[in-house]
Amino acid sequence: MQDIGDILENRVLWVALGACLMAQALKLVIELLKNRKLNVRVLVTTGGMPSAHSALVTALATGVGQTLGWGSAEFALAMVFAIIVMYDAAGVRQAAGKQARILNQMIDELFHEHPEFDGDRLKELLGHTPVQVIVGSALGITISWLAKSTGVLVVSP
């Protein structure tokens, strides 16, 4: 039971999750300003501005660096993890989204004359542009630094 208590008291974890939630909330605001309508689905979808994945992993890595030290093995691990996640978001998942868009277009064109074909469309918005990843990363770092400066993230190994 003490393990659950330790998890619930892990401020680095809570700051990282808060950064992720903030990025998702910003997606809602950006969607509202861009399209002039409230689309709450953006709160639970991948892709879009800013990257919540990037905000999460950079806040995590920054929090680990702030609490355990920038030269610690734990910071190195968190940083490598963050780089992999951000590369995947901007590279692999964005490419998969482009492929899904092309496949959906092919299905629409090929089966337009055959309405009995009722295949599910592939999800196209999977990844992020490099700008979305950079903005998400900046958000994660900023939130972690703000948490430290306001005392939310207590720096003690």
Asked whether residue 154 is domain-assigned, the answer is: no
pLDDT at 108: 72
Task: Say if 37 falls within a structural domain.
Answer: yes
47-56, 60-69, 83-92, 124-133: which is most confident: 60-69
DSSP string, 78-105: HHHHHHHHHHIIIIIHHHHHHHHHHHHH
How many angstroms separate the CA atoms of 45 and 92, rounded? 17
**151/92 Cα distance (integer angstroms):** 37
User: Strand, coil or helix: what is 1?
Assistant: coil
Range scoring the smallest mean pLDDT among 61-70, 80-89, 109-118, 147-156: 109-118
157 is a domain residue: no
Segments forming the whole domain that contains residue 82: 2-149
Is 109 inside a domain boundary? yes
pLDDT, tens only, 65-81: 999 999 999 999 999 99
**Is the whole model's pTM more than 0.85, yes or no?**
no
Q: How many structural domains does the chain have?
A: 1
| Domain contains 155 | no
